Amino acid sequence: MAVRYVQTCRLPTPFGVFDMHGFEEPDTGKEHIALTLGDLESDEPMLARTHSECLTGDALYSMRCDCGYQLEAALRSIAREGRGILMYLRQEGRGIGLLNKIRAYKLQDEGADTVEANERLGFAADLRDYSMCKDMLGHLGIRSLKLMTNNPRKVDALRSLGIDVVERVAIHVGRNPHNEHYLNTKQSKLGHWLETHQDDDPA
């Protein structure tokens, strides 16, 4: 078991009133949450996003990435659909942690791209793990997903866990002069599906 269920409560947000479900990794004590809205028992595929923690983007409004923009757009899309799940995974900086992300940002200030910065610090370009998603979805009884992502590796990772991703929904938001190089690097080196035009939220 990657995670164990802890508790559920209501979470009012500007986008709607979600149910917040807490999960914990037994081996590490690391905590993750899932926000759900609407009927979880339907067999219809559920609009979903797996979102890895980004303190700088999600909480501090950083324009160096598109994370905060994607988080808000995903919640708005779930609220508009009336049914969905957002799994918020505590793996900061694509898995390297907050302080190492600051070190990586310093290297980017000096000319490295996001992949080169991680590698100079001795890390792989992306250390994220999605194994907890299978347990979270299994506990909630969610069988299939319409996944909001631009990352083909994320789709492949979830499918390799046996999660039924029936559709990929683009989430092109937040491009600005501060993250232009970052987004282009994700496209050229990590294979992300990106577009020059950025929508306000996913279709």
Catalytic residues: 126, 128
CB 196 within 8 A of CB 173: no
DSSP string, 132-172: HHHHHHHHHT--EEEEE-S-HHHHHHHHHTT-EEEEEE---
User: Residues forming the annotated binding site for Zn(2+)?
Assistant: 54, 65, 67
User: Residues forming the annotated binding site for GTP?
Assistant: 49-53, 70, 92-94, 114, 149, 154
User: Residues forming the annotated binding site?
Assistant: 49-54, 65, 67, 70, 92-94, 114, 149, 154
CB 144 within 8 A of CB 85: no
- Alpha-carbon gap, residue 148 to 117, rounded angstroms: 27
